[in-house]
């Protein structure tokens, strides 16, 4: 459970501050996999980043006692000049994993990139990058995994593997996912939160959420 208290968030612009959320109060369920749905510009990514604490609200708080992953997306924290191994070690260090060597090995195995693990990330294809990032994240034990759509670029085989890993984690951990592709959402999530005009609504059943989201358009 993540509690949002009196959350207000705006971005400065030439037309004055653009409010995305005003005095929002909400209890974000995290027991199972939740999809965040909403139109472009509704504040999906903003909400996502605030849940991850990579951005902070103007006023109000995001409260939780769960450990959360960083917002896992293609670009975050991966340095293109550094090798996959160096990047992995960096992420491991930042998150204070117990054994770097073990973590390194687990990531290399899960990401299925073999020897290219020791080449700079700029030589990777986008699919390989996605695999690396996802492997880095799933091999650390979090209570909640935050996953951006970009990570699901992998091929079907890898996606199956990713899903398998998440299902295994599902007994102990939840997941929050942002994506535009309903196929992927259906594949990974069981419930949904819909953002509409700065207010949130929780749908325990994913299909209800999706149909409400489709009606909006």
Partner 1 sequence: MELSFKTQLRGWRTVIFALFLREMQSKFNDKLGLGWAFVEPFIFIFAMSFARGFISGSDVHSVPIFVFMMMGLMGVQSFMTCTGSVPNAIKQNKPLYAFRQVQPIAALITSAFMEFSIKCGVIVLIALGIYLLDLDFQLADPLLLIALFLLLWLFSISISLIFAVLIAFVPEINKVKNMLNRPIFFISCTFFSLQDFPESTWHWLTWNPLVHIIELSRYACYPSYGDAGVSVSFIVEVTAVSLFLGLALYHITWKKILAR
Q: List contacts with partner 1 (CB under 8 A).
A: 11, 49, 52-56, 65, 70-71, 73, 75-77, 79, 81-82, 86, 89-91, 93-96
For the CB of residue 65, give the shortest distance to partner 1 in the complex, in Å.
6
Q: How near is the Cβ of 157 to partner 1 at its closest, in Å?
A: 28
> At closest approach, how far in Å is the CB of 171 from partner 1?
23
Nearest CB to partner 1, comparing residues 21 and 213? 21
* Residue 130: CB minimum distance to partner 1, A: 16
CB of 91 to partner 1, least distance (A): 8
Residue 213: C-alpha distances to residues 26, 35, 119, 168, 205 (Å): 19, 12, 42, 29, 13
Cβ proximity to partner 1, 71 vs 174, nearer residue: 71
Cα–Cα distance measured from residue 28 to residue 9, given in angstroms and rounded to the nearest whole number = 17
Asked if 28 and 193 count as a contact pair (C-beta separation under 8 A), the reply is yes
Nearer to partner 1, 11 or 160 (CB): 11
Calpha distance 178→49 (Å, rounded):
11
* Distance (Å, whole) CA 153 – CA 137: 15
* Minimum CB distance to partner 1 smaller for 75 or for 211: 75
Least separation, in Å, of the C-beta of 93 and partner 1? 4
- Measured distance CA(142)–CA(68) in Å, rounded: 6
CB nearer to partner 1: pick between 32 and 95 = 95
The alpha carbons of the chain give a radius of gyration, in whole angstroms, of 18
Provide the 10 A C-beta neighbour count for residue 51. Answer: 21
In angstroms, the CA 24 to CA 9 distance is: 9
217: tokens are 């358009």
**Residue 9 backbone dihedrals phi, psi, to 5 degrees:** -140, 130
Nearer to partner 1 among residue 73 and residue 107 (C-beta): 73
């Amino acid at each position: 459970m993540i509690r949002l208290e009196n959350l207000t968030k705006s971005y400065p612009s030439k037309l004055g501050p653009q409010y995305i959320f005003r005095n929002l109060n909400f209890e974000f369920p995290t027991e199972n996999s939740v999809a965040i749905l909403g139109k472009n510009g509704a504040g999906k990514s903003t909400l996502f980043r605030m849940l991850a604490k990579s951005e902070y609200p103007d006023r109000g708080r995001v409260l939780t006692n769960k450990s959360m992953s960083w917002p896992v997306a293609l670009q975050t924290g991966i340095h293109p000049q550094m090798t996959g191994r160096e990047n992995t070690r960096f992420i491991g260090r930042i998150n204070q994993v117990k054994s770097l060597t073990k973590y390194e090995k687990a990531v290399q195995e899960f990401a299925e990139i073999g020897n290219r693990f020791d080449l700079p990330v700029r030589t990777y294809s986008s699919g390989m990058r996605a695999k690396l990032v996802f492997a880095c994240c799933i091999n650390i034990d979090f209570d909640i995994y935050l996953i951006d759509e970009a990570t699901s670029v992998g091929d079907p085989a890898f996606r199956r593997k990713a899903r398998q890993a998440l299902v295994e984690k599902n007994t102990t951990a939840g997941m929050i996912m942002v994506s535009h592709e309903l196929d992927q959402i259906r594949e990974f999530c069981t419930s949904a939160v819909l953002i509409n005009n700065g207010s949130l609504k929780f749908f325990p059943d994913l299909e209800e959420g999706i149909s409400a989201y489709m009606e909006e358009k």
